[in-house]
Chains A and B, each alone.
Chain A
C-alpha cells in the first residue's frame, strides 16, 4: 500500500515537474522559430534589394532609342557612275547619307561643327543599316524613304532619362544645340524606344549602343560544353572507381582527402595552373573557350566527384547484393544497377558544378579571357569572352551608358543560372526512385 502511494507520489511529482518545464520548453521553441523566420525574412529582403537594384538599373538596357529620318538615297553619294557594282555599293559613304538626312531635317544650313554635332546623335551603326538596305535592294537608289535609325548612346541616355535634359546642367552628355534638336524630334514623334535586339545579337563594342552579349553567350556556351565533356566523364569515372573498386588503404584515403581539399581551393589558383599548363606548356590559344573550359573543368571536378560518391553511397547495398547473388560481375553490378540509380544525384551535382563554372570570372582572367573581343566566336578555338567576364569588363568601363548594359547582362546571367538550377531540380524530381 505504502509502496503504491510512493509510486503515485513520484508520478505526481514527475507530472508537476514536466508541466513546470513545459512552459519554458514551448517558449524556447517559439523563440527558435521566430529567429528562423526573421533570418529567412532578412535574406529574402537582401535578395529583393539585390535583384531590385539590378532590374531597376538594367531593364532599360533591353530597350534602345531610334530616330525616324527621311533619308534620300542620293545616287551621287552611293554610286556616282551608275554601274551598280556591288563593291561600289558596299563601300559607299553611307554615313554621309545619314548626316545629310539629319541636316535636312534639323539644320539645313549647318556648318561643319553643326554637322559633327548632328552626326554624333546617331549611332555609327545607322550607316550600316542603310548599307544593308541598299545592297539588299539597289532599286532604292534615287528614292527617298523614312527609316528608323539607331540613336547614339548619348541621345539614348537622355531619352531614357539617365542624363540631364536641361541645357547647361551638370553632367550633360549632349550640348545645348543637340538637346534642342532632340526636343524637336521628340515633338514631331520622330523618336521611339524599341526592343534592343542588338544587345542579344551583337558582340562587344566600344560604342555602348552597339554592344551585345551574344559573343559572350556563345563563348560561355563553348566553354561550358568543353567543361562538361571533360569533367563529367572524368568525374563519374573517378567517383565510381573510388567508391566501388578502389581498395581501402592509405593511398585511397590520401586521394580522398586531397579531392575534398581541392574543392575548397580558390578558383584563381586553378586559373594560374591553367595559365602554366594549358597555355605555357600545351600552347592552347589564349583567351579561347578551350583553355577556359579546361580550367573550369578542373574547378568542377572535385564537386562532381564528391557529389558522385555521395550518390553512389546512397544506393542501398541490398541492390548490390541482389545483383552479386545472381552472378553479376563487379562491372555489371555498377553499370546495370548502381550507376543508373546514382545518375540523378550525379547529374544534379554536375549541373550545380556547371552553374558555378558559368559564374566563374577570376580564373578566366588568368588565362587572358579578359581581352576586348568584337567577333562572335565560331569555334572553341577562337578568342572569346564569357558572360561573367563581359560583365566585369562593362562594369569597369568609363562610358556611363555601359551601366545599364552591365545590369542587363547580369540579369541574363542570373536567368541562365536559375534555369540550370531548375533543370537540376526537375531531373532530381523526375528520377527520384523508391526501393
Chain B
C-alpha cells in the first residue's frame, strides 16, 4: 500500500493521529491499519462508500466504541500526542475534549436551555447561574440559533424543526468548549436550506475547533473541508488537501469514487 505524503507527518504536530489503527467488531474487522492525521484548526472530511468504516473511525476518537459490545481497538490513536486508549485516560474527560454531533438530531426531551446547559453542568464549567447563562447564549449564538429561539429558551428542544434541532445539538456540543468536534453525517436528515446553514456554521467553527466530518455528499466535502480522507472497505485509500483529492486524485479507487463510478 502506498502511503501518501500527507499521512507521514510528525504525529506530535497533528491534533489527532492514528497509526496502524485496527478495529474489530467481534470477528469482523472494520478498520485495517489506518494511518491518518487530523490537523488542528481544519475541517477534515471522511468520505467513502457505505460500510467502509468512516463512522467507526470517528467513534474511535471519542471512544464511543467503548459502548459497543465486542468492539476492539488496536494500534495507536493520539490526541495532542497522548494515547486516547491509554489505561489512565478518563473517558469522561476525553469526551469533554472531543465533542460529537450525530447523524440524526437527538436533542434531550428537555428545554432548549437545559439542552445546551447540560454539558457545562455535568463538567462544572460555570461557577454561577450568570456564567451558565452566558455559556448557553454564546453557544446558541455560535451555532446560529440564538435569533430563532431567544424568546423560547424554556420550550422543549424536541419541538424545533429538524435543522434547528441539529444546530441545537451543535450548540450543545460546543457549550462544553471541546477541542475537537466529530460530526457523523450531520446534514443527512436536513433539507438544502438547513444544510447550507449548518455548512456555513461549520466553516465559522473552524476558527476555534478542529472538526472531523463524515459525509456522503462530495459537494459538501468540497465546500466545507480543507482536507479529505477517502476510505474503502475499512482501509484508508488516500488523504490530502480537499482540492487535490477532488481535482487530482492519486489513487484509481478515489478517482472512481469521486467521479461516481461506484459507491
Contact = CB atoms under 8 A, between A and B. Distances in A.
Given A321-B102, A435-B158, A327 B96 contact: yes
Contact of B109 (A321, A325, A329, A434): A434
Interface string B117-133: 01100110000000000
Contact of A326 (B104, B109, B158, B173): B173
Contact of A318 (B69, B94, B106): B106
Interface string B79-119: 00000000000011111100110101011110000000011
Contacts of B109: 319, 341, 433-435
Interface string A335-355: 011000100000000000000
How extensive is the interface on chain A, given as a class?
20 to 34
B96 A322 contact: no
Contact of A323 (B93, B108, B173): B108
A248 B173 contact: no
B167 interface: no
Shortest 7 CB-CB contacts between residues of A and residues of B = A327-B95, A325-B100, A318-B106, A326-B119, A327-B96, A322-B106, A327-B92
A328 interface: yes
Contacts of B94: 327
B172 interface: yes
Interface string B158-184: 100000000001001100100000000
A60 to B, nearest CB: 52
A197 interface: no
Interface in B58-95: 62, 64, 67, 69, 91-95
Given A321-B106, A322-B169, A434-B109, 8 more contacts: A319-B108, A321-B64, A322-B106, A322-B108, A326-B176, A329-B92, A341-B109, A435-B158
A217 to B, nearest CB: 39
A135 to B, nearest CB: 62
Contacts of A252: none
B64 A324 contact: yes
Given A318-B102, A434-B158, A435-B158, A325 B173 contact: yes
B62 A325 contact: yes
Contacts of B108: 319, 322-323, 337
Contacts of A327: 91-96, 119, 122-123, 176
Contacts of B176: 326-327
A326 B106 CA distance: 12
Interface of B is mostly: helix
Contacts of B173: 325-326
A126 B2 CA distance: 107
B205 to A, nearest CB: 16
A326 B93 contact: no
Interface residues of B, number: 27
Interface in A420-435: 433-435
A332 interface: yes
Contacts of A325: 62, 64, 95, 99-100, 102, 173
Nearest to A322: B106
Nearest to B67: A324
Dominant SS at the A interface? helix
Contacts of A319: 106, 108-109
Contacts of B67: 320-321, 324
Contacts of B119: 326-327
Nearest to B159: A434
Contacts of B106: 316, 318-319, 321-322, 435
Q: Which of B67, B99, B104, B123 has the most CB of A within 10 A?
A: B67
Nearest to B97: A327
Nearest to B157: A435
A433 B173 CA distance: 23
Nearest to B123: A327
B102 A326 contact: no
B229 to A, nearest CB: 21
A332 B122 contact: yes
Nearest to A248: B69
Given A248-B69, A326-B173, A435-B158, A318 B104 contact: yes
A323 B122 CA distance: 10
B61 to A, nearest CB: 11
B155 to A, nearest CB: 13
Contacts of A435: 106, 109, 158
- Of listed A322, A337, A341, A433, residue having the most chain B CB within 10 A: A322
A373 to B, nearest CB: 49
A336 B64 CA distance: 19
A318 B99 CA distance: 15
A2 to B, nearest CB: 37
Contacts of B93: 327
A341 B108 CA distance: 10
Contacts of B69: 248
Most buried by A among B91, B119, B122: B122
Nearest to A247: B69
A247 to B, nearest CB: 9
A321 B96 CA distance: 14
Contacts of B102: 318, 321-322, 325
Given A319-B108, A434-B158, A435-B158, A328 B122 contact: yes
Contacts of B172: 322, 326
Most buried by A among B69, B100, B123: B100
B60 to A, nearest CB: 14
Interface in B26-75: 62, 64, 67, 69
Contacts of A321: 64, 67, 102, 106
Interface in A297-326: 316, 318-326
Interface string A135-173: 000000000000000000000000000000000000000
Contacts of A326: 95-96, 99, 118-119, 122, 172-173, 176
Contacts of A318: 102, 104, 106
Contacts of B62: 325
A434 B157 CA distance: 10
Nearest to B63: A324
